[in-house]
Chains A and B, each alone.
Chain A
Amino acid sequence: MRRVPLSRIAHARSGDKGTGSNVGLIAADDRGYEILLARATAEKVKAHFGGIVRGVVERYEAPNLRALNFILHDSLGGGGSASLRTDAQGKTHALALLMMEIEIPDDYQTPYPEGSPSKGPPAEGLSAPRRKSR
């Protein structure tokens, strides 16, 4: 077994639902969906979000889409229009969930590559080389 972030085996989208948000987490392939079913539990997701989610986390399954839908209750600091937060509508909660690490079998080739300019997302700050500070 090894640990990888969910972004290596799934993609996701989030948005607001009243005073909470939802994250739809979609596996890239069938094997990934089996892993999500077994390991991406509501409890684990609730712990991952820490103080961002004040309420409970519910999980629904949509096998036709290889998707799990997580409802994050009381996760916006008030409803979308009442919240003071920068992310008042939970638009970035999907990316937060994709950072959650999960155990996968060693022989499972992750469908989404690690970040590299040619195959995956561009490496951070390509155009702005950073000087080492002392």
Chain B
Amino acid sequence: MIRIANGQGFWGDSVDAPGRLVEEGPLDYLTLDYLAEVTMSIMQKLRRRDPAAGYATDFVDLVKTLLPRLVEKNIRVVANAGGVNPQSCRAALRAVARAAGFGGLKIGVVSGDDIFDRLGEILDAGCPLANMEDGRPLSEVSERVLSANVYLSSYPIAEALAGGAQIVLTGRSTDPGLVLGPMIHEFGWERQDWDRLAGGTVAGHIVECGAQCSGGNFTRWWEVEGWDHLGYPVVEADPDGSFIVTKHEGTGGMVTEETIAEQLVYEMGNPRRYVTPDVVADFTSVHLERCGPDRVRVSGARGAPPTDTYKVSISYLDGFKAVGQVTIAGPHAIAKARVCAEALWGRLRRAGFTYQETLTELVGLDSCHGTIPQPPSHLNEVVLRVGVKDRDRAKVDRFGKEIAPLVTSGPPGVTGFAGGRPKATEVVSFWPALIPKELVRTTVTVEKAAG
């Protein structure tokens, strides 16, 4: 049995969770998932400004803090912190390791996911990278592409571990792969072990969002205790592909069949076909069973052969947007907010500005759920939130200047205009596509921190 934890569900998740996983209980592997889709495009922009940037800098700080304990306890780390620049991330890690006296530390890097510089060549090879949602060819937006990354399989991670890496860095790989990779390495699973690979994939899916399987975001939240020290998930994996999800003893939160079931369906499409580059997992085959306090055994996963394509996540510039808000208080807050909104849009129209898309929300009244619950007829405070989206940056900036005047030229009780005029920011949209596996070249290198 090996213990694999996830201490980061996204870039911006708890700063303390990884260290607590290392200190508060036994562990063999610590995985850290930094990459949401939008993160890749942010990193690509950073790299364009500075060729040494474009990776999760938090990870380097984390390793600096934890390295002595990781080495002492022989905990190996698998992280997709490399972002769009894994080589640069490795250079930073090597410097940190050498400075701390760990020159012998082996760092593995998986690369080949970044196909941004190869897009022309790939299109020329006859792969249209058509949009998976609507079939349009990439050529429609190709001059506005910001980043393009393939979701790599778990085998390169296993290969880096087999090469002795104590830390494995990837760019874009599948989220569950960070957990499946160590299982492939430890248990020697073969590419045809579909059921076991499916089990590992299910495990990775359950823990990839950190505490979301151990009490976070749980529907019946009032049953959760210890919010200030929520335990992050630990998988106790067995060679047969079954596993137990748990958390370190004494931590807050809860692991039950219900918290696990909720995370299993999170971001789910067809539950019978959860497609990764390693396997097509059938989530309707798994069996959940409580086997102790905060312990749930997951077994029975079935898998089928993977497809012959990788998924590619391409981000592209899709215009500009700005969002701003004011708070409206006192009698007739809802009516006054509506007057404010009409005034704002009317003033812009009179000045000659219309937009591709506008948004008016009354936060506190109906911003998330519309009229699904009966909206209250009276509120003493409501937030008016307005936004626009347009190709024309100048028009979007002009919108941002129209909010503050509401404080003095609207009804009484308008306040809370903070943070200055909202400025136009780039809208990044995503273009999901497929690429034949033979067009992607994955490389794995393992090197010591010094030498």
Binding site for B on A (CB under 8 A): 7, 11-19, 22, 24, 26, 48-52, 60-67, 69, 71, 77-82, 84-87, 92, 94-96, 98-100, 112, 120-122, 133
The residue on B at minimum CB distance from A11 is B219
- B265 engages A67 (CB within 8 Å): yes
- A81 engages B428 (CB within 8 Å): yes
Is B240's beta carbon under 8 Å from chain A?
no
Binding site for A on B (CB under 8 A): 37-38, 41, 133, 217-222, 258, 261-272, 283-288, 318, 321, 323, 357, 359, 361, 363, 367-373, 378, 385, 387-389, 427-430, 432
The residue on B at minimum CB distance from A50 is B370
- A78 engages B369 (CB within 8 Å): no
Scoring A86, A94, A122 by chain B CB atoms within 10 A of each residue's CB, the highest score goes to A86
B contact residues around A84 at 8 Å (CB): 321, 323, 357, 359, 387-389
B contact residues around A19 at 8 Å (CB): 133
- A80 engages B37 (CB within 8 Å): yes
Q: How far is the CB of A29 from chain B (nearest CB, A)?
A: 12
The answer for the CA separation of A100 and B267 in the assembled complex, in Å, is 21
* Majority-rule SS of A interface residues: mixed
- A26 engages B258 (CB within 8 Å): yes
Q: How far is the CB of A31 from chain B (nearest CB, A)?
A: 17
Given contacts A22-B265, A67-B261, A84-B389, contact A96 B361 (CB under 8 A): no
Given contacts A13-B262, A24-B262, A62-B265, contact A122 B389 (CB under 8 A): no
The residue on A at minimum CB distance from B218 is A11
B contact residues around A94 at 8 Å (CB): 219
- A22 engages B268 (CB within 8 Å): yes
B contact residues around A96 at 8 Å (CB): 368-369, 372
The answer for the CA separation of A50 and B401 in the assembled complex, in Å, is 33
A contact residues around B288 at 8 Å (CB): 64-65
B contact residues around A78 at 8 Å (CB): 357, 389, 427, 429
- B285, B368, B369, B430: the one contacting A18 at CB < 8 Å is B430
- B321 engages A112 (CB within 8 Å): no
- A86 engages B270 (CB within 8 Å): no
Q: How far is the CB of B219 from chain A (nearest CB, A)?
A: 4
* Majority-rule SS of B interface residues: mixed
The answer for the CA separation of A121 and B224 in the assembled complex, in Å, is 11
The residue on A at minimum CB distance from B287 is A64
Q: How far is the CB of A69 from chain B (nearest CB, A)?
A: 5
B contact residues around A14 at 8 Å (CB): 266
Given contacts A81-B429, A82-B428, contact A95 B265 (CB under 8 A): no
For the A-B complex with A78-B427, A81-B37, A84-B321 known, give 9 more contacts whose Cβ atoms are closer than 8 Å: A13-B265, A22-B268, A52-B370, A60-B268, A60-B271, A67-B271, A69-B269, A96-B372, A122-B222
- B220 engages A112 (CB within 8 Å): yes
The answer for the CA separation of A95 and B370 in the assembled complex, in Å, is 12
- B372 engages A48 (CB within 8 Å): yes
- A79 engages B265 (CB within 8 Å): no
A contact residues around B430 at 8 Å (CB): 18, 79, 81
- A7, A12, A50, A122: the one contacting B262 at CB < 8 Å is A12
A contact residues around B378 at 8 Å (CB): 133
The answer for the CA separation of A121 and B363 in the assembled complex, in Å, is 23
Given contacts A18-B133, A86-B361, A92-B369, contact A13 B387 (CB under 8 A): no
Given contacts A62-B271, A82-B428, A84-B321, contact A99 B369 (CB under 8 A): yes
A contact residues around B432 at 8 Å (CB): 18
- B428 engages A24 (CB within 8 Å): no
- B265 engages A69 (CB within 8 Å): yes
The answer for the CA separation of A71 and B288 in the assembled complex, in Å, is 23
The answer for the CA separation of A112 and B219 in the assembled complex, in Å, is 11
The residue on B at minimum CB distance from A120 is B222
Scoring B265, B271, B284, B370 by chain A CB atoms within 10 A of each residue's CB, the highest score goes to B265
- B367 engages A85 (CB within 8 Å): yes
B contact residues around A66 at 8 Å (CB): 261
Q: How far is the CB of A22 from chain B (nearest CB, A)?
A: 6
